[in-house]
Amino acid sequence: MPDRILVVDDEEAIREIVCAILGAAGYICKQAGSGIEALALLNSGETFELMLSDLMMAELDGIGLLERTKEKFPEMPVVMVTAVHDISVALAAIRNGAYDYLLKPFEREQLLNAARRALENRRLKIENRIYQTELESLVKARTLELQAAVAELKRSYDITLEALGDALDLKDAETVGHSRRVTAFTILIARAMGIASDQIDVIARGAFLHDIGKMAIPDNILLKPGKLNEEERAIMREHCYRGYQMLKKIPFLAEACEIVYSHQEHFDGSGYPRGLRGEEIPIGARIFSVADTLDAIISDRPYRMGRSLAEARKEILAWSGRQFDPEVVKVFMNIPDQIFEDLRREINGHSLPPFPATAIAKSAS
Ligand SMILES: [Fe+2]
């Protein structure tokens, strides 16, 4: 497609010459005898790759025409044609957005060069804009791909965690489903405490894997039916640190392992392994502690039936400020029974995975 050029001049003779030269060079020209006429042509929807405009015209002059077209047709360069005596006005036109100016009288070559330069500049500008747009959408697409890959990676991590936690539950048949229920209760309380969702994810992983260190405890101690003696109890208590050591090497669990390390601490400092107290204990571990006790009380064991939620609440309240953080207990006490019941039923029916935390949160709300 040859480029179309709009030639605006109030002298017909000049228009004819200019169009003859441009036409011979392969351009398609259209003439306008005034600024007003040019404006009407442009506004009618006809498009031009270039406008050559006389500067001095009655009614609407070159500057006025430029002023009224540059915003609507930003990609159409304007070359001003002017007589020597108004060169300063031509420069002003350039400052106003004209691409170039041509001094009258001009040679054929000067006219063609000016047209070529302006059209080339326009082409480069458009190419650059297309390149920018393509680049932006390319970056956008790549970012989305990357985000999806990261989400997928997180998901596979979580599936691995599930398997790990379930492996422990399988070994210690007495507490089947314990990790899942405790995780769900922990998430529920954490949500009620207004903890941010990315932090809840960390807390959930810590809660789910809290006893993972028990993998390192010999079966004759871990599965011993009777009471543990002093020495056995000491070995059993190592499970917090063992779990912490296992998980801290995994960057994805760097924060969650702190909860594993601290999950047996008591608010008043009487817990183990470090005897942390109050806010020295990570908030996730303080929440876990309530959730863990709750599950232990209400779940059936081979040698006894689970007790009621009301009894669990009474017990937890009695230990508020000693074993448990009073703030956590307060929030826990305000969560309706129904939510705990529903959650427990769903998890025992195995329809609810422990991850992601949002699934549990959704089901509880
Ligand atoms: Fe434990």
Q: Which is higher by pLDDT, 109 or 93?
A: 109
Q: What is the pLDDT of residues 227-252, one digit of tens each?
A: 999 999 999 999 999 999 989 988 88
Rama region for 59: left / alpha / beta (φ>0; ψ in -120 to 50; rest): left
Tokens coding 66: 């430029």
Q: How many CB atoms lie within 10 A of CB 279?
A: 11
Band of residue 343 on the pLDDT scale cut at 50, 70, 90? confident
Tokens coding 270: 């009487």
Average pLDDT over residues 186-194: 95
Q: What distance in angstroms lies between residue 243's CA and the mean position of ligand 1's atoms?
A: 9
Q: What is the pLDDT of residue 160?
A: 81
Q: What distance in angstroms lies between residue 25's CA and the mean position of ligand 1's atoms?
A: 88
Burial of 289 (0-12, 13-18, 19+ CB in 10 A): buried
Q: What distance in angstroms lies between residue 338's CA and the mean position of ligand 1's atoms?
A: 27
Largest CA distance in the chain: 116
Residues 6+ apart with CB under 8 A from 137: none
* Cβ density class 115-128: b for 16+ within 10 Å, e for less: beebbeebeeeeee
Q: Per-residue pLDDT for 299 more than 80?
A: yes
Q: What is the pLDDT of residues 261-287, one digit of tens each?
A: 999 999 999 999 999 999 999 999 999
Burial of 57 (0-12, 13-18, 19+ CB in 10 A): buried
Q: What is the pLDDT of residues 306-341, one digit of tens each?
A: 899 999 999 999 999 999 999 999 999 999 999 988
Q: How far is CA 38 from the centre of its chain?
A: 49
Average pLDDT over residues 142-158: 87
Q: What is the pLDDT of residue 337?
A: 92
CA distance to 50, 60, 64, per residue, from 57 (Å): 19, 6, 10
Q: What distance in angstroms lies between residue 183's CA and the mean position of ligand 1's atoms?
A: 13
Q: What distance in angstroms lies between residue 330's CA and the mean position of ligand 1's atoms?
A: 23
Q: What distance in angstroms lies between residue 244's CA and the mean position of ligand 1's atoms?
A: 11
Q: What distance in angstroms lies between residue 327's CA and the mean position of ligand 1's atoms?
A: 22
Band of residue 91 on the pLDDT scale cut at 50, 70, 90? confident
Place of tokens 């709750």: 294
Q: What distance in angstroms lies between residue 151's CA and the mean position of ligand 1's atoms?
A: 30
Q: What distance in angstroms lies between residue 258's CA and the mean position of ligand 1's atoms?
A: 13
Beta-strand pair 78-83/100-104? parallel
Q: What is the pLDDT of residues 25-61, one digit of tens each?
A: 999 999 999 999 999 999 999 999 999 999 988 889 9
Helix axes 326-333, 178-192, angle to 10 degrees: 90
